[in-house]
């Protein structure tokens, strides 16, 4: 009889880990422009997968395809056991409740306090949730991003780094299974960027999420990546551990990691 192997990926130690996202032979273009020609990848449970690629290589398009915001021309996208391309709008809506997005802008609702910014998605996604539970989850999410004291502030009263933290709190407050980060540290100073990278790891541990992180920030890659995928010319150019990328002698990889 085979003994199940135990392995640790990110924060999750399991006898056998499952893919939470599985993409096969994805093709997507706009008009005559081919952006993704043939992309296949997996995101494993509990893993932080970093996607690298030159500007315009289709990283954001990839995230939008995963979320069902764009339709591919060819290929399959399976997220948490659902074939995204076959879901109707209700099915997509349900699936998106399990996916958290942290976009570059991290847009908060400027006319709402931090508390209201967190309570809004909770009420929308967790139908029937009690007021007590809302308050508990809001306080917990703010504590986890180290900003409990900001609960009654307006977004305009916060620094860029604080806004990013609150955006992350708003994303995690609804317990997503998957987090999609699009350039989470862009526009932040190096110290604040490092804090956000550390927070990405904290969130992974506490909330047991699986994440795709798109970033050009190599410090963020070094801090967060369990595995890396480099896109080039619409396909996966290289895939592997941080160590593999750091030791690569390929000029393109070196140009990213120098
Ligand atoms: N809705 C759209 N309609 C037409 N073209 C689009 C659309 N979305 C993206 N594109 C094009 O697809 C290409 C890839 O865009 P994408 O935003 O995915 O790049 P990226 O790798 O995320 O770049 P960056 O690192 O600069 O953010 C770009 O040439 C972009 O202009």
Q: Which residue numbers in the chain have pLDDT < 70?
A: 1-16, 104-106
DSSP 26: E
Q: Which residues line ligand 1 (CB under 6 A)?
A: 30, 35, 53, 55-61
Ligand 1 centre distance from Cα of residue 37 (Å): 14
pLDDT (tens digit, 9 = 90+) per residue, 176-221?
999 999 998 888 889 888 988 998 998 898 888 999 999 989 999 9
Give the SS3 label for residue 87.
coil
Which residues contact residue 38 at a Cβ distance below 8 angstroms, ignoring those fewer than 6 apart? 25, 26, 27, 75, 234, 235
Q: Is 81 exposed, middle or buried (0-12, 13-18, 19+ CB in 10 A)?
A: exposed
Calpha distance 172→7 (Å, rounded) = 25
CB-CB contact of 61 with 36 (8 Å): yes
ipTM: 0.96
* pLDDT the model gives residue 189: 87
Domains in the chain (CATH in brackets) are 19-257 (3.40.50.300)
Q: For 213-249, write each residue's pLDDT tens digit.
A: 999 899 999 999 999 999 999 999 999 999 999 999 9
Cα(30) to ligand 1 centroid in Å equals 9
* Residue 20: burial class (beta carbons within 10 Å; 0-12, 13-18, 19+): buried
pTM above 0.95, yes or no: no
**Confidence (pLDDT) at 135:** 95
Residue 101 tokens, joined: 């997005």
Q: For position 11, what pLDDT does the model report?
A: 53
């Amino acid at each position: 009889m085979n003994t199940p192997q135990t392995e640790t990926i990110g924060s999750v130690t399991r006898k056998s880990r499952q893919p939470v996202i599985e993409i096969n032979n994805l093709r997507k273009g706009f008009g005559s422009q081919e952006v993704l020609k043939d992309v296949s990848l997996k995101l494993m449970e509990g893993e932080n997968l970093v996607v690298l690629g030159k500007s315009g290589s289709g990283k954001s398009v990839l995230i939008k395809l995963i979320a069902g915001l764009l339709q591919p021309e060819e290929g399959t996208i399976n997220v948490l056991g659902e074939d995204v391309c076959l879901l109707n709008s209700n099915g997509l809506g349900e699936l998106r409740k399990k996916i958290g997005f942290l976009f570059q802008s991290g847009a908060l609702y400027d006319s709402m306090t931090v508390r209201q910014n967190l309570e809004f998605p909770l009420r929308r996604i967790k139908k029937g949730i009690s007021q007590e539970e809302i308050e508990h989850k809001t306080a917990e999410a703010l504590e986890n991003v180290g900003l409990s004291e900001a609960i009654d502030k307006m977004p305009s009263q916060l620094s860029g780094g604080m806004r990013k933290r609150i955006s992350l709190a708003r994303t995690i407050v609804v317990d997503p299974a998957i987090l999609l980060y699009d350039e989470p540290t862009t526009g932040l100073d190096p110290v604040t960027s490092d804090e956000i990278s550390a927070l990405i790891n904290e969130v992974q541990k506490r909330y047991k999420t699986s994440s795709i992180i798109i970033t050009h920030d190599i410090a963020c890659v070094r801090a967060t990546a369990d595995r890396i995928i480099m896109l080039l010319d619409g396909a996966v150019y290289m895939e592997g551990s941080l160590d593999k990328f750091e030791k690569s002698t390929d000029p393109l990889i070196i140009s990213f990691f120098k």
